[in-house]
Amino acid sequence: MLDALSGIVDLERAASVSLYRQLYTQLRDAILNGHLPAGTRIPASRSMAVQLGVARNTVLAALEQLAAEGYLETRQGAGTVVSGQLRRGLMRAARREPDAPPPDYSLSRSADRMAMITRATPDGENPRAFMPGIPDLESFPRDLWARLLRRASHELEDSALAYGGTWGLPRLRAALSDHLREMRGVQADPEQIIVTSSAQGALDLLARAMLDPQDKVWVEDPGYLGARAAFSGTGATLVPVPVDKDGLNPAGNHPRPRLIYVTPSHQYPTGILMPLARRLELLECASRHGAFIIEDDYDSEFQFQGRPVAALQGLDASGRVLYIGTFSKILQPGIRVGYAVVPPALAEPLRSLQRNSGHIAPGVVQLALAKFIEEGHLRAHVRRTCALYEERQDALVSALEENFGTRMRVNRPAGGMQLVAELPPETDDVALARSYGERGIVARPLSQLTLGDHARSGLLMGYAGYPVKDIREAVAACRDIARI
């Protein structure tokens, strides 16, 4: 009988899998594969333990588990045998049949549209010049943050440990309400705020809430891929609306929108600040069409001269602006907390939608963020990093000028974390970005952020996350890599 196990059980002592689990799995597979047919007697645990050179308890545990799961049974007088309960045909279900057709792994149509816009960053890929959207990570106050997390973990109430207020800790929503009013001119009662797992989660939530298949959504062109991905997942039709010197231009013959997506503080990617007249035109246009506006205010806090221009949301008297903010840029993306501010009438249904879509941020991180804001650290951090980013933008602009003269033209943004360097019209920006990429320098081709047929050649370059020295070196390297 033990010999019967010799071709079946083969335990590896060095494996990370426990001997118990190995023995269990090998016996189970032998039963399922028919190598140990129904009625086969299983040796006594003691002799099996000796034979296999393992502790008897290990054998006992495996046999007990197999009996509990229905693979083995005890027969009077016959000891433990392979169960006769299972039909042979059934066991085939657990076997890999070499000639079985593989499952159809194609995604649903809507998931396929979303997944097509690939943005996943490889494991362990560290930020480097000129990845856009990366804040200065060195400045992030790790010690302070660690202390706040620790305090938050101690203080969190039971309701937050369970399923209470999945749409955001009351204390964080209160802190955000004050912060947004003071710093961004946003009108937001805490009840209007929904805290989400990442700003992309907020985008996804709002897109799904507002868009039916075939609805039209106006997107800035060039514009942000993350927003396009979220919108296309709903089956809505993306209408690229060209960005002029004032941002998205609503005048023009575009199909009637249900939703208009804008980044008025620093248009993504161009960095354009939308002036007041255009903001008013946009509100008027949304009213006229019965449309809603998503204002994605991702990095507006970084305004180099004066205070940041107030958000579009604060200008909106008709309740048509849905506002999105994030901690990814003012602190760090790894925090993965974003939020939406919605008109009061939408708060209740969106909470329910959020609970059921699972875009929920951990309470401990939310409470630490509330403390971070309440204790004034957020303002101090923004002040510090804003000065740094201005210096880095200066460095990038002058390095580009020194190395490329007029062949790279920069419309210098009034703030933010990245800029667009326009290339001579005939330049293949995709090929150029690829040749930079081969040397470890990241620059996103502008044409890939453009949907319409008016693509200009250019590069999106982030500067906020990189020291002046790195910026200079990377620009010099770019000059050496390819002649433009």
Q: Which of 439, 402, 399, 437 lies closest to 419, judged by CA?
A: 399
Closer of 297 and 316 to a second copy (Cβ): 316
Contact status, residue 413 vs residue 419, Cβ threshold 8 Å: yes
Residues 128, 133, 134, 139, CA torsion sign: positive
Q: At its nearest, how many Å lie between a second copy and the CB of residue 409? A: 25
Q: At its nearest, how many Å lie between a second copy and the CB of residue 440? A: 15
Please tell me the distance from the alpha carbon of residue 338 to that of residue 360, in angstroms, as a whole number: 10
Q: At its nearest, how many Å lie between a second copy and the CB of residue 328? A: 8
Residues 6 or more apart from 437 whose CB is under 8 A from it? 443
Q: At its nearest, how many Å lie between a second copy and the CB of residue 345? A: 4
Phi-psi region of 367 (alpha: psi -120 to 50; beta: other; left: phi over 0): alpha
Closer of 22 and 270 to a second copy (Cβ): 22
Closer of 242 and 362 to a second copy (Cβ): 362
Tokens at residue 269, please? 């990617």
Closer of 300 and 427 to a second copy (Cβ): 300
Closer of 70 and 452 to a second copy (Cβ): 70
Q: At its nearest, how many Å lie between a second copy and the CB of residue 217? A: 12
Closer of 336 and 472 to a second copy (Cβ): 336
Q: At its nearest, how many Å lie between a second copy and the CB of residue 479? A: 26
Q: At its nearest, how many Å lie between a second copy and the CB of residue 150? A: 4
Return the beta strands (E) in 211-367 as ranges. 216-221, 237-244, 247-248, 259-262, 292-296, 321-326, 337-341
CA angle 318/324/329 to nearest 5° reads 150
Q: Pairing state of beta strands 321-326 and 292-296? A: parallel
Q: Residue 142 burial by CB count (10 A; 0-12/13-18/19+): exposed, middle or buried?
A: exposed
Closer of 2 and 137 to a second copy (Cβ): 137
Phi-psi region of 295 (alpha: psi -120 to 50; beta: other; left: phi over 0): beta
